[in-house]
């Protein structure tokens, strides 16, 4: 939700954007047009990475206004392929694998396509949900249609609540950052009350490692972290991530394109008709080379889509790719059956 009363038209949101980087006067003028509902190139040039919500010093959520105007004007250049992927997600067959009564529910949303990511002791006894009934719809912001999120939020919550009640759980662990963004942030804007507690996968992993310190073998590894776009909605959990890294013995390298300066994995740009493949690839390599040049031995992903986008490219730069849960499993001395990010490299 955009809070117009908080906006001072400082222009920070469009000035600090890695992709637009408008000069101050243009940034102020173009954002004023967004507020007034006037035509502006921002709606077609914004790649929907949500970073401007973090850049805003007043907490006005400028991206939410940009996204709203993208839908109202129909000027966001989403490809037919990306629109089709969003539509298909809600149609995937729902699956529920019941675990031990009282144990949390782990929601995989519709992104359970990285083999080997949900294996081992970390997930013993959890009830697992996935498929269209458990799709959070946050991905629709990346095709310029945020109304789909609000229209389907209650249904998403109700479907999870039904499973939670059936297995006697109190918590839903969100494997996908998008789901947590909806349950911890967006539902408040929509006036939806939750009959369960949402827990981010980072918090779950941190607490598991804390409770099992005797099993941990410190990895002594330097890593670069690929932050998902949806993390912008709940960035406060980044402190938990650093706690987790310290517990398992990895050093998150201090680099330009991390935290406030994080870049998109290229998936959002790749879903736009206005970005040539060569330009998307250039942004991806800028991100990866920043990680390599700062000494990263591995690239760590939270979002499965980011992993698919960058894992082979990271490996080509001698940085081993890992889904976060698999990095934790490695520290627990477990064998990774399908590689760190769902792919075995020869």
Residue-wise pLDDT for 230-276, tens only, equals 999 999 899 999 999 999 999 999 999 999 999 999 999 999 999 99
Same domain, 24 and 56: yes
- 190: helix, strand or coil: helix
Q: What are phi and psi of 173, to 5 degrees?
A: -85, 125
Q: Does 198 lie in the same domain as 278?
A: no
Same domain, 150 and 195: yes
Same-domain pairing of 165 and 248: no
Among 17, 49, 73, residue at a domain's last position: 73
Instruction: List the CATH number of the domain containing 112.
Output: 3.40.50
- What gap in Å lies between CA 22 and CA 8, rounded to an integer? 17
Residue 8 CB burial class (10 angstroms; 0-12, 13-18, ≥19) = exposed
| Residues 184 and 250 reside in one and the same domain | no
What tens digit of pLDDT does each residue of 300-336 get?
A: 999 999 999 999 999 999 999 999 999 999 999 999 9
Burial of 59 (0-12, 13-18, 19+ CB in 10 A): exposed
Tell me whether residue 301 is in a domain.
yes
How many other CB atoms sit within 10 Å of the CB of residue 35? 14
In a domain, 343, yes or no: no
Residue where one domain finishes, among candidates 170, 205, 240: 205
The answer to whether residues 246 and 304 belong to one domain is yes
Q: Assess if residue 105 is contained within a domain.
A: yes
- 192 with 235, same domain: the answer is no
Q: What is the mean pLDDT of the chain?
A: 97
Within 10 angstroms of residue 96's Cβ, the number of other Cβ atoms is 18
The total number of structural domains in the chain stands at 3
Whole-structure pTM value: 0.96
**Cβ neighbours around 280 below 10 Å, total:** 21
Share of the chain above pLDDT 70, in %: 100
Q: Which of 73, 101, 129 is the last residue of a domain?
A: 73
Q: Which residues contact 88 (CB under 8 A, 6 or more apart)?
A: none
Residue 24's CB is within 10 A of a number of other CB atoms, namely: 12
Domain that holds residue 308: 214-331
**Same domain? 247 vs 157:** no
Is residue 305 situated within a structural domain? Answer: yes
Closest CA to 322 of 332, 338, 333: 338
- 195 plus 87 within the same structural domain: yes
């Amino acid at each position: 939700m955009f809070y117009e009363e908080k906006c001072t038209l400082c222009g920070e949101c469009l000035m600090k954007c890695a992709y637009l980087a408008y000069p101050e006067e243009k940034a102020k003028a173009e954002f004023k047009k967004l507020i007034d509902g006037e035509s502006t190139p921002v709606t077609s040039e914004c790649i929907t990475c949500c970073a401007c919500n973090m850049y805003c010093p007043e907490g006005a959520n400028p991206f939410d206004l940009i996204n709203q105007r993208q839908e109202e004007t129909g000027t966001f250049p989403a490809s037919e392929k990306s629109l089709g992927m969003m539509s298909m997600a809600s149609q995937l067959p729902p699956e529920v694998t019941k675990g031990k009564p009282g144990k949390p529910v782990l929601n995989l949303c519709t992104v359970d396509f990285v083999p080997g990511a949900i294996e081992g002791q970390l997930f013993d006894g959890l009830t697992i949900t996935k498929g269209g009934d458990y799709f959070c719809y946050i991905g629709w912001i990346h095709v310029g249609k945020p109304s789909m999120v609000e229209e389907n939020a209650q249904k998403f919550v109700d479907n999870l609540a039904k499973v939670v009640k059936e297995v006697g759980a109190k918590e839903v662990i969100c494997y996908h950052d998008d789901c947590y963004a909806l349950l911890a942030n967006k539902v408040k804007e929509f006036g939806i009350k939750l009959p369960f507690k949402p827990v981010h996968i980072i918090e779950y992993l941190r607490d598991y490692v804390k409770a099992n310190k005797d099993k941990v073998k410190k990895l002594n590894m330097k890593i670069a972290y690929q932050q998902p776009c949806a993390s912008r909605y709940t960035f406060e959990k980044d402190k938990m991530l650093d706690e987790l890294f310290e517990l398992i013995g990895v050093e998150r390298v201090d680099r330009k394109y991390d935290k406030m300066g994080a870049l998109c994995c290229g998936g959002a740009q790749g879903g736009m008709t206005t970005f040539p493949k060569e330009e998307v690839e250039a942004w991806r390599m800028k991100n990866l080379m920043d990680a390599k040049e700062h000494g990263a031995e591995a690239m760590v992903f939270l979002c499965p889509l980011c992993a698919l986008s960058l894992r082979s490219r990271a490996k080509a730069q001698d940085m081993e790719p890992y889904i976060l849960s698999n990095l934790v499993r490695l520290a627990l001395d477990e064998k990774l059956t399908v590689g760190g990010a769902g792919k075995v490299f020869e």
